[in-house]
Amino acid sequence: MKEQKVIVNSWNEWDPLKHVIVGRPEGTMVQAPEPAIERDFTKDGVPKGFFGPLPEEMLAMATEQMDNFVRLLEQRGIQVDRPTCIDFSQEVSTPDWKQKSMFGCMPPRDVLLTVGSEILEATMSYRSRWFEYLCYRPLLQRYFREDPHFRWQAAPKPRLTERSYKPDFWNDYKNWTEEQKEQAMRTGDWILTEEEPLFDAADIARAGRDLFVYHSAVTNKSGIDWLRRHFADHRLHVLHFKETVPIHIDATFVLLRPGLALTNRQRAPLEPKMIEFFKKNDWELVECAEPALPGYPPLSFCSRWLSMNTLMLDPKTICVDAQEVRQMEQFDQLGFEVIPVPFAALSAFGGGLHCATADVHREGICEDYFPIQVGGF
Ligand code: ABU
């Protein structure tokens, strides 16, 4: 009889990594305009409203760095699976809308959330990313066939009609006062309405029984509520940080190992209760180092804080973008074995080392790293 093995198992961000999905930069687009997001790369010589594939020379560099990263993981005995690209330049539609292009499949972390034996396909909130899950379906189908314990889940597919977005948000936002921005940061009140549950998987950080969700511009309250009901055996904590129009937790607040988390030195945590929660459970919150870059890389919607966007291979070993010398030094001082990985070319394709990966298997079980709960957080 064929042996039935456990393929999918991962409860946190740091247990020894055995199997991972690594995205592909091929075919990635500057996506066509859509209500959820305003891309403006005029400073990089690209007119507003333009959409099309990222330049060939950028893709060549990104592919080389990604292939190098895959080799590095495999040499360490980690099994790597890759998604199947589709034509991201095609127009896509549902009965509710048409979108002139898709985006890509370099950052699987945005789409897939692994919690224990479950992989959950996120709703996403961009129309250009509505069909991105298709790139991962060949892998998920295989895991389903081969692992009898794998729980394959998909959150309710959103309609993403005009009702999911605040009308004129991007025009209004340009005239917001500092006070209005502060208010939005505290409430997570950005472009999305509460019409339907919306979330990106990369807004969630996992620590065994506790899940931390960033109430960002791609995750709404209804999405958080859906996650809370779905992960009923977990404790869900909602986070807000000092960042305007935020996207994803993994360049803002990074759980490194039991007892240690990295915080973004510019995007301070906004709830005193959050700090109290970590302190009461003997977790140290360390401010990250200064990133290598002064601003956004060319044609990238990801910030310079990808310096924090790292991949833990086990609680002592961390992969860091090789250009982030100060961040690597800090990790070294914190007692990590640091693996420098040239990865800067991937920024425009959707992110850093954490974004580019999605856990399939880490050793370990669901543990309680936060035995002391703080009411209201
Ligand atoms: N997907 C991670 C990007 C987050 C950031 O640019 O801050």
Averages of pLDDT over each 10 residues, the chain, 377 residues? 84 98 98 95 92 97 98 98 98 98 98 99 98 98 98 98 97 96 96 98 98 98 98 98 96 98 94 95 98 93 97 98 98 98 98 98 98 93
Q: Which atom of ligand 1 is nearest to the CA of 109?
A: 1
Question: Using a 6 Å CB cutoff, which residues line ligand 1?
Answer: 202, 247-248, 250-251, 302-303, 305, 309, 351, 355
Catalytic: which of 248, 302, 321, 359? 248
* Mutation to probe ligand 1, out of 110, 124, 200, 247 (largest number of atoms < 8 A from CB): 247
Asked if 87 is an active-site residue, the reply is no
Please tell me the distance between residue 109's alpha carbon and the centre of ligand 1 in angstroms.
Answer: 11
* Mutation to probe ligand 1, out of 109, 309, 347, 349 (largest number of atoms < 8 A from CB): 309
Alpha carbons 300 and 343: distance in angstroms, whole number? 13
Residue 2 is predicted with a pLDDT of 63
Please tell me the distance between residue 170's alpha carbon and the centre of ligand 1 in angstroms.
Answer: 19
Please tell me the distance between residue 250's alpha carbon and the centre of ligand 1 in angstroms.
Answer: 7
Measured CA to CA in angstroms, residue 130 lies from 115, 117, 125, 229 at distances of 22, 24, 7, 22
Please tell me the distance between residue 357's alpha carbon and the centre of ligand 1 in angstroms.
Answer: 14
State both tokens at 94: 């549902």
Q: Which atom of ligand 1 is nearest to the CA of 110?
A: 1
Rg of the Cα atoms in the chain? 19
Q: Which atom of ligand 1 is nearest to the CA of 107?
A: 1
State both tokens at 155: 């959150």
Asked if 248 is an active-site residue, the reply is yes
Please tell me the distance between residue 232's alpha carbon and the centre of ligand 1 in angstroms.
Answer: 28
Q: Which atom of ligand 1 is nearest to the CA of 355?
A: 1
Alpha carbons 213 and 195: distance in angstroms, whole number? 19
Residue 1 is predicted with a pLDDT of 58
Measured CA to CA in angstroms, residue 44 lies from 50, 223, 293, 297, 309 at distances of 12, 34, 16, 9, 23
Please tell me the distance between residue 353's alpha carbon and the centre of ligand 1 in angstroms.
Answer: 11
Catalytic: which of 135, 288, 302, 355? 355
Q: Which atom of ligand 1 is nearest to the CA of 309?
A: 2
Q: Which atom of ligand 1 is nearest to the CA of 202?
A: 1
Cβ 119 vs Cβ 101: under 8 Å: no
Asked if 135 is an active-site residue, the reply is no
* Mutation to probe ligand 1, out of 250, 266, 346, 354 (largest number of atoms < 8 A from CB): 250
Please tell me the distance between residue 202's alpha carbon and the centre of ligand 1 in angstroms.
Answer: 9
